[in-house]
Structure 1
Amino acid sequence: MIWENYVFRRGVEVEDLWDDMYSDRKANNRSMRLLYIAGRGFDLRANNVISTYVERLNASGCKVDQATLLLVGFGGYQLSTELEALTNENASILEGIFGTIGKVETYFIDETEEDEELNATIMLRLGASKILDYLEGVTDVVLDVSSLPRIAYLTILLSILARIIPATGDQDLLTHGGVTFQVLVGEDPELDSKIAAQDPSNDLVLIPGYSEVFQSETLRDMPMVWFPILGENRLAQVLKVESNIPDWAEICPILPHPSKDPRRGDKLLTEYDSTLFAKRQTPLSNIIYAHEGHPFEVYRQLLEAMLRFRKTLSVIGGSRLVVTPLASKLITVGSALACFEMKMRSVDSSSGVAIPYAEPKRYVADVAALRSSKPDLSVLVLTGDPYLI
């Protein structure tokens, strides 16, 4: 496994990790060129994350040659007046905090030139390509997923990994690119469950680079295994994806367990019973339990499940492995890492992985709940300095 050994911290341990990393930079007289990517969204968790990061970076005394905050915005969602105002407020706060160490740029990922109409998958591909241009010459990339829509941070995360991790058997996979890549998460599963995603698009969005085995007509008869990673208030999205899954496909729902709410898995089983169990006759033995608060455990469990299916189905010609992440942020990030490695392992085989998603057109959230959230800060260091021996 690529991340057999991993770096993951949460709570006060995050600040200790940053202190060690950046103090070491200072001691070795190594400066940094930083790209910090965050969402221009309504989720105020991003404020807590960036303020903590900037504070610890300043306290470390590490020399910063260049620092850019790239705020990724979206204009295609229907939001209430209150959420629109909160989005603008959030952006102003983020700009003010980061402005003390560097410049701020805003890029709307769904903007097109000359009013050209493009589907969401193509827009994501073009948007990811432009974001990757910002990686030129940087030593550190920080992706804060706290206020980014799921399709955005999945696309950005997987695109950056594909850029900096070589698609070879290089033993120095995690240090080869010379870039320290961190993913920051302001995690609050309870708040995630209260943000309703409504009116899913009729057309499925496929994460760029993870679409061929789902779309290809030549592969339509190849065995398929679908891994819906379940979260609250996502039934409409599950139904959209489920309508594109063949009746004969194997389904392995993924539920959060352990969880802060011991009954969370049971509640999700009830919510999705009619769609995945009563209608599809999915055996309960197919359920995979993933740790709500540990993305690398999710990565390990999902990757091992996909590898088992690939091995079993290889005797009848191959497999299509389909992952639909609808759970909280840490679980989603862990599933993305599993898909990334599975794609690398499937280059020379007759299997492949796809990530289809029914993107909502409208988000509904209670402003009071957003303001009162007290997220747990988590960091995953995916490449770079901590892996140097």
Structure 2
Amino acid sequence: MLRPCRWDPCISHRADEVDKFIADYFGSGGKNVLFIAGAGFDPRSTAVMARLTKTAATISGLLMQENRPRPAQNLVVRATNNTTAMTSLLKTFEVVPIEIFGVDGAVVGGRNAVTVVNRQSFDNITDVVVDTSALSVGTSFPLIRYLVERIERGKGPPNLHLFVAHDPTLDAAIQSVGSDAPGYVHGFRGGSTLDGSAGAAKLWLPQLASGRRATLGRLHDFVAPHDTCPILPFPASNPRLGDELAEDYLTELEIGWSVDARNIVYAAEDDPLDLYRTILRLDDLRRPVFEEVGGSLLVLSPVGSKVMALGALLAALERDLPVAYLESIGYDLDASVSQASESPHLVHVWLEGDAYPQPRPPLLSERTAIR
């Protein structure tokens, strides 16, 4: 028997629909918004805020600066310019540095982000908006989970919205330098470390992305899956992107990961709900098959597209799935890339709130709420 899905149906918008939703919903008056976003070098940093601040909503900003060791000077300049542009649009804001690595080299960004959000006051806040456009997976996933579980416990805020500015060309242009220590995103260990899951049939679902072969190679060794189902974008803005990625990863697919061509997963590049539903279907299909022989465990690795990462996030939240991730110690972006993304494809997901009837299908992750 298939389980009811928490975000199916789900209220979401894409492209021009997002602009209309922002104008209609946030422009209707009476909205007191806490806007959480990254104040980094990413050219998409200001896209969502620029639209929200044109509405009648009262907006206070919580801008997170992800700090990594020895950042490139040109990226520091870009981040400073983006921060200045964002704060100039806000009357009330706080710019908070988020140290991604501890003094011992441990990844602490997600825990630090949750600590910052936990000390915020949500009194009189009607909506929290999280813009993941310039936030890493290691930072955005834990803070979003914290907010979802806070709402589930009846502590507010009333509404939670996720936005992302999608630009696959820019995603490919941003070169990531991975650390040497793969691990699980804070709050997203799922059943991966439980004794009861030791004998589970482990299926790894890595999102393939350009320039991430070394990262995914380390993650494969870390996860040590029994089977691998790579995720390719289709349909995509570049119709040949899936074929190009499959060619780039040919060695891994045929030799390193031993992937059967029938096990490749396709998901729409610009719709997070497509990947979300696909992951849940896989989970539902595998559980009865492996129930008598140790169970089934899906492990996600969202790399590359931020929109598809949102789909993985929804599935991980609902089913308490582990998210294996290799945090970046640095980035590189060619100086020829524009300071601001000219025409990003915006995506909005209304994650929690007044739009949904109660009670809602429960989150399996409630039993492992992060602190």
Q: TM-score, normalised by structure 2?
A: 0.88
**What residue is the counterpart of 1:128 in the other structure?**
114
**Distance in 2 between residues matched to 1:123 and 1:372, nearest whole Å:** 25
**What residue is the counterpart of 2:365 in the other structure?**
none
**Distance in 1 between residues matched to 2:207 and 2:85, nearest whole Å:** 33
Which one-letter code corresponds to 1:270 in the other structure?
Answer: E
Equivalent residue in structure 1 for 2:333, among 332, 343, 365 = 365
Matched-pair identity in %: 26
1:213 aligns with 2:202: no
C-alpha contact 1:226 1:250 (8 A) present in aligned 2? yes
Query: Offset at 1:363?
Result: 0.6
Q: Which has the higher helix share?
A: 1
**What residue is the counterpart of 1:380 in the other structure?**
349
**Distance in 1 between residues matched to 2:26 and 2:353, nearest whole Å:** 13
Query: Offset at 1:177?
Result: 4.4
* Unmatched runs of 5 consecutive residues or more in structure 1: 167-174, 344-352
Task: Give the aligned length.
Answer: 352
> Which string of whole-angstrom CA distances, capped at 9 and with x for unpartnered residues, describes residues 139-186 of structure 1?
2100111111222112222222222135xxxxxxxx994521111111
**What residue is the counterpart of 2:254 in the other structure?**
277
Which one-letter code corresponds to 2:96 in the other structure?
Answer: Y
Report the secondary structure of 2:99's partner residue: coil
Query: Offset at 1:266?
Result: 0.7
Equivalent residue in structure 2 for 1:287, among 254, 264, 274 = 264
> Which string of whole-angstrom CA distances, capped at 9 and with x for unpartnered residues, describes residues 24-62 of structure 1?
5x3xxxx3332100102101212122111111x23xxx5
Query: Offset at 1:20?
Result: 2.7
Query: Offset at 1:136?
Result: 2.8
**What residue is the counterpart of 1:4 in the other structure?**
8
Which one-letter code corresponds to 2:217 in the other structure?
Answer: L
**What residue is the counterpart of 2:367 in the other structure?**
none
Structure 1 window deviating more from structure 2 (176-185 vs 135-144): it is: 176-185
Query: Offset at 1:68?
Result: 2.1
Q: TM-score, normalised by structure 1?
A: 0.84
> Which string of whole-angstrom CA distances, capped at 9 and with x for unpartnered residues, describes residues 264-303 of structure 1?
0011111122123322211011111000011111111111
Structure 1 window deviating more from structure 2 (328-337 vs 373-382): it is: 373-382
1:154 aligns with 2:141: yes
- 1:142-181 matches, within 5 Å, as 142-166=129-153, 177=156, 179-181=158-160
C-alpha contact 1:43 1:370 (8 A) present in aligned 2? no
C-alpha contact 1:228 1:323 (8 A) present in aligned 2? yes
Query: Offset at 1:230?
Result: 1.3
**Distance in 2 between residues matched to 1:212 and 1:297, nearest whole Å:** 22
**Distance in 2 between residues matched to 1:335 and 1:15, nearest whole Å:** 24
Change (3 A) 1:244 1:217: farther
* Unmatched runs of 5 consecutive residues or more in structure 2: 359-371
Equivalent residue in structure 2 for 1:322, among 299, 310, 335 = 299
Structure 1 window deviating more from structure 2 (217-226 vs 231-240): it is: 217-226
**What residue is the counterpart of 1:105 in the other structure?**
94
Which one-letter code corresponds to 2:81 in the other structure?
Answer: E
Question: Root-mean-square deviation (CA), in Å?
Answer: 2.3
Change (3 A) 1:22 1:104: closer
Equivalent residue in structure 2 for 1:338, among 315, 329, 343 = 315
Query: Offset at 1:217?
Result: 6.0
C-alpha contact 2:208 2:232 (8 A) present in aligned 1? yes
**Distance in 2 between residues matched to 1:217 and 1:370, nearest whole Å:** 49
- 1:49-198 matches, within 5 Å, as 49-55=48-54, 57-58=55-56, 62=57, 64=58, 67-99=59-91, 103-110=92-99, 117=104, 119-120=106-107, 122-134=108-120, 136-137=122-123, 138-166=125-153, 177=156, 179-198=158-177
C-alpha contact 2:110 2:140 (8 A) present in aligned 1? no
Which one-letter code corresponds to 1:13 in the other structure?
Answer: E
